[in-house]
Structure 1
Amino acid sequence: MKIEQIYTGCLAQGAYYIESNGEVAIIDPLRETQQYVDKANNENAKIKYIFETHFHADFVSGHVDLAKKTGATIVYGPGAETNYDIHAAKDNEEFKLGNLTIKVLHTPGHTLESSTFLLIDENNNNHAIFSGDTLFLGDVGRPDLAIKSDLTKEDLAGMLFDSLRNKIMPLADNIIVYPAHGAGSACGKNLSKETVGVLGDQKKTNYALRADMTKEEFVKEVLDGIAPPPQYFAKNAMMNKFGYDTFETVLKKGNTPLTPEAFEAIANQEDALVLDVRTEKDFVKSHIPNSIFIGLNGGFAPWVGALVTDLKQPILLITPEGKEQETVTRLSRVGYDNTLGYLKGGINTWKDSGRDIETLKSISVDEFSNQFKKETINVLDVRKDGEYKSMHLEGNNVQHFALDYINDNMNAIDKNKMYYIHCAGGYRSVIAASILKARGFNNLIDIAGGFGAIKNTDLPITDFICPTTL
């Protein structure tokens, strides 16, 4: 028996390769599927099944492509309906994989078809669960993502409570837990940085598995503080349900080198978004006018998904040399399949052609501190709501909205005023500044180092302290 977790940090996502006696199952594969084919070929094994724990919302799975390449059967849980051939399993149905058995435990709650796959070893012992978004380490899946359902999030949370109590918690404490996500995923609130655990530990430490918890308490705690899902979630779920173009087709179209002349012509003809994925420091120094920065060195794909509202948006790329294919790949993982090419030679080629470039003013925290003390200046904090509430700069001139919702807050700031923008460390503030610049906000200054640097100054800080219960 061989079990391998294939973890992708930028998506905080775990796919799984399971092999026994020449037969392979892949659970929740990524969009680029050749890696699984190659791995099986290297082991002289054949991919027999592709198990999907549910219709994923945070990424486009590779199940459709992988099935076409290998002839493997796609298995979903009960009630799943798609536009392509699948096996919709029954609750407790078993699938033979070499000397192993994979048993389907229908665990609705995150979504209606959500299922946990129980791996039974060659000695007929329960060995592990592949829990998808039903159970994470430290948390459980959010219950507000059902596709076209009349059920409320409270209804789904109640289902999740029953699934955990009736299907997961009765299993032995030594069962290994392989979840679909770890820390950084928007599919839960408080996911652990660990990506593999054991069920006994979760029963002791995971708030959602507390033995004396009532259903009403569970529903309240699971829903408390849950942020609205990113706008691309529902769109990715529909792609997973109805199918998509092959990854190879998407890659061939997007991984196309373009001269400055061709790049500019396509940008104008197709109304393409120019997406600059270099580092924030490189973008600050020079960038193409009206381009948007979302760097590969941060949470690239999720931020694209949160901020670019049209999955079919034509996109042209400015990348670091050698990162062109990686960029197209990472865009495709969240459903952005309409990349039309990249600028060959990068920003230097653009400069050498005599075309205009722009810069973004960025100042040190010491410069900002001196300016803040000398005069009243406008500060824009684009961290998440929880970060802001926990600790922020004081002042009537300090404004806040999360970068996630910048498209909804354009009217909250004045194009005629100067804004000093910060996030926690500098990545998100440059994203925000680039979006605002492209919308005609030209009076912007980035604070290098962000709030991580600001809080170490003597500037006035509001630090939230939880009230003591008397």
Structure 2
Amino acid sequence: MKVEQIYTGCLAQGAYYIVSENEAAIIDPLREVTPYLDRLKKDNVTLKYIFETHFHADFVSGHLDLSKKTGAPIIYGPTAQPKFDAIIAEDNQIFNIGKIRIKALHTPGHTMESTTYLLIDENGIETAIFTGDTLFLGDVGRPDLAQKSTSLTQEDLAGILYDSLQEKIIPLNDEITVYPAHGAGSACGKNMQKETVDTLGNQKKTNYALNQPDKQSFIKEVLDGLTAPPKYFGMNVALNKEGYESLDLIMNKGLNPIPAEELEAFVEETGSLILDTRSPIEFHKGFIPNSINIGLKGDFAPWVGTLVVDVKHPIVLIIDEGTQEEVITRLSRVGFDNVLGYLKGGFEAWKNSGKEIDEVNRISPSEFAKQFKDNSIVLDVRKLSEYSAEHIENSYNKPLDAISDWVNSIDDSKHFFLHCAGGYRSMIAASILNSHGIRNFTEIEGGFNGIKKTEKFPITNFVCSSKTL
């Protein structure tokens, strides 16, 4: 028997590849299925089942493409109603893979179809659980995402999740390995540990949600501090439930090189968003007016989902040479399938064509220290939890994920400084501000991490946040 966790850091997502004898199973696959097909071929095994723990909200699963290319059936837990052919497991139903068995444990609460899969090895020993978004390391799945599809409140769902954990998970042996669908950084929970694998016994000791004295305390603690989920989540659920185009077709459409001389007319005709995926360092030196910078080397796909929201919005890419397939793939993971092409020759081609170029005024923390005055306006675009822990005194917290709510309230007649933690998010904010005609600001390279090192600024005392929101 072999169990392999295939972890994707930018989404904080774990898929699982399980082999016994000449058969395999895959749990919660990502959108691009070639890596799984390569593993199956290398191991000379047949994919028998594709298990889905629930209808994912934060990414688009590869279940459909994988099923079409291998013939393996897709399995969901009880109450799931996909729009395509699938096996809807009964609670406690057993599935055989080689000499091992996988038992479906219906664990509703995060969503009503949420199911944990219990792995029973060749010797009949319960070895591992694949918990999806029911149980994370350090946390449990948020119970507020499935409200629109049910008549239940988030309090109702939290109570159902409590019952699932108490009746199905906690009674299992402490030695069982916990394999969750997500780790730290995912918006599907609020207090996840950095580790991606643990024992159930350790989770019983360290996970706050498993240590509540009663159901009401559990409901209160699990719901406390939840921020609004990213707006693209609902669209991803729909794609996972109803189906989507093959990634092969998405890739063919997106691999369309557009000459610099034709880009403006193409964007105007199609209504496309110009998405610049270069690094903040390169972007600030020069970019196409009205383009939005979300750097590929960062939490790229989740930020596109959070800020662009509409997965059907047409997109034209500005990329570093040779990254077009990676960019299209990573966008497809969160359902952005309408990439219409990319600038041929990259930004250099645009610059060499003599067309208009915009810039962001970026300065170092040391230069910021020289320019900063007591009446300077400072906008901090980090999360509220980061800002609450430590920030420049009298600065304003304007979280990037809520920029659509506050961008139109900015007074462009008053100069302000802009920063995040390290420069990635503040450059995204800078590009959005520029696209709204707001230009009277200066962005700080290196963000708050660099600012603290200057020892120039009045900083609030650090307060350790008990929950990462």
Match of 2:39 in 1: 39
Match of 1:335 in 2: 335
The structural deviation recorded for 1:280 is 0.3
Task: State the distance in 2 between where 1:125 and 1:261 align.
Answer: 65
Match of 1:414 in 2: 411
Aligned residue type for 2:350? W
SS of match in other structure, 1:141: coil
Match of 1:7 in 2: 7
SS of match in other structure, 1:310: coil
Task: State the distance in 1 between where 2:135 and 2:382 align.
Answer: 28
Task: State the distance in 1 between where 2:252 and 2:10 align.
Answer: 23
SS of match in other structure, 2:48: strand
Match of 1:54 in 2: 54
Match of 2:323 in 1: 323
Aligned residue type for 1:201? N
Note if contact 2:60-2:333 (Cα within 8 Å) is conserved in structure 1.
Answer: yes
User: Is residue 391 of structure 1 aligned with residue 390 of structure 2?
Assistant: yes
Q: What are structure 1's unaligned runs of at least 5 residues?
A: none
Match of 2:458 in 1: 460
Task: State the distance in 1 between where 2:387 and 2:363 align.
Answer: 21
Match of 1:181 in 2: 182
Label 1:466 to 1:6 Cα distance change in 2 as closer, same or farther (>3 A): closer
The structural deviation recorded for 1:262 is 2.9
Q: State the TM-score, normalized to the length of structure 1.
A: 0.96
The 5 Å alignment of 1:5-404 reads 5-146=5-146, 147-210=148-211, 213-373=213-373, 376-395=375-394, 398-404=395-401
Task: State the distance in 2 between where 1:344 and 1:96 align.
Answer: 50
Task: State the distance in 2 between where 1:465 and 1:30 align.
Answer: 37
The structural deviation recorded for 1:167 is 0.4
Residues 358-417 of structure 1 show CA distances to partners (whole Å, capped at 9, x for unaligned) of 1111011122122223x632211111111111111113xx32210000011123211222
Task: State the distance in 2 between where 1:76 and 1:466 align.
Answer: 40
Label 1:455 to 1:71 Cα distance change in 2 as closer, same or farther (>3 A): same
Residues 35-65 of structure 1 show CA distances to partners (whole Å, capped at 9, x for unaligned) of 2122112211111110000000000001011
SS of match in other structure, 1:3: strand
Residues 11-50 of structure 1 show CA distances to partners (whole Å, capped at 9, x for unaligned) of 0000011111211111000000122122112211111110
Task: State the distance in 2 between where 1:263 and 1:98 align.
Answer: 54
The structural deviation recorded for 1:265 is 2.2
Task: State the distance in 1 between where 2:464 and 2:128 align.
Answer: 39
The structural deviation recorded for 1:68 is 1.1
Task: State the distance in 2 between where 1:35 and 1:238 align.
Answer: 25
SS of match in other structure, 2:434: helix
Q: What are structure 2's unaligned runs of at least 5 residues?
A: none
SS of match in other structure, 1:455: helix
Task: State the distance in 2 between where 1:421 and 1:33 align.
Answer: 40
SS of match in other structure, 2:274: strand
Aligned residue type for 1:173? D
Task: State the distance in 2 between where 1:194 and 1:334 align.
Answer: 23
Task: State the distance in 1 between where 2:35 and 2:298 align.
Answer: 24
Task: State the distance in 2 between where 1:79 and 1:255 align.
Answer: 39
* RMSD over equivalenced CA pairs, Å: 1.3
The structural deviation recorded for 1:313 is 0.8
The structural deviation recorded for 1:309 is 2.2
The structural deviation recorded for 1:464 is 5.5
Task: State the distance in 2 between where 1:376 and 1:137 align.
Answer: 44
Residues 75-109 of structure 1 show CA distances to partners (whole Å, capped at 9, x for unaligned) of 00000001100111110001111111100000001
Task: State the distance in 2 between where 1:233 and 1:412 align.
Answer: 26
The structural deviation recorded for 1:116 is 0.3
Task: State the distance in 1 between where 2:38 and 2:119 align.
Answer: 23
The structural deviation recorded for 1:455 is 2.4
How many pairs are equivalent? 463
Instruction: Give aligned-pair identity as a percent.
Output: 59
Note if contact 2:132-2:180 (Cα within 8 Å) is conserved in structure 1.
Answer: yes
The structural deviation recorded for 1:331 is 0.4
Aligned residue type for 2:114? S
Aligned residue type for 1:391? E
SS of match in other structure, 2:348: helix
SS of match in other structure, 2:127: strand
SS of match in other structure, 1:392: coil
Task: State the distance in 2 between where 1:411 and 1:131 align.
Answer: 42
Residues 288-336 of structure 1 show CA distances to partners (whole Å, capped at 9, x for unaligned) of 1111000011110000010002111110111111111000000000010
SS of match in other structure, 2:149: coil
Task: State the distance in 1 between where 2:201 and 2:214 align.
Answer: 20
Aligned residue type for 2:378? V
Residues 149-188 of structure 1 show CA distances to partners (whole Å, capped at 9, x for unaligned) of 1111111111111111110011001101111011110111
Task: State the distance in 2 between where 1:418 and 1:400 align.
Answer: 16
Task: State the distance in 1 between where 2:267 and 2:413 align.
Answer: 28
Aligned residue type for 1:431? I
Note if contact 2:388-2:463 (Cα within 8 Å) is conserved in structure 1.
Answer: no
Task: State the distance in 2 between where 1:236 and 1:221 align.
Answer: 27
Match of 2:434 in 1: 437
Aligned residue type for 1:409? W
Match of 1:405 in 2: 402
SS of match in other structure, 2:82: coil
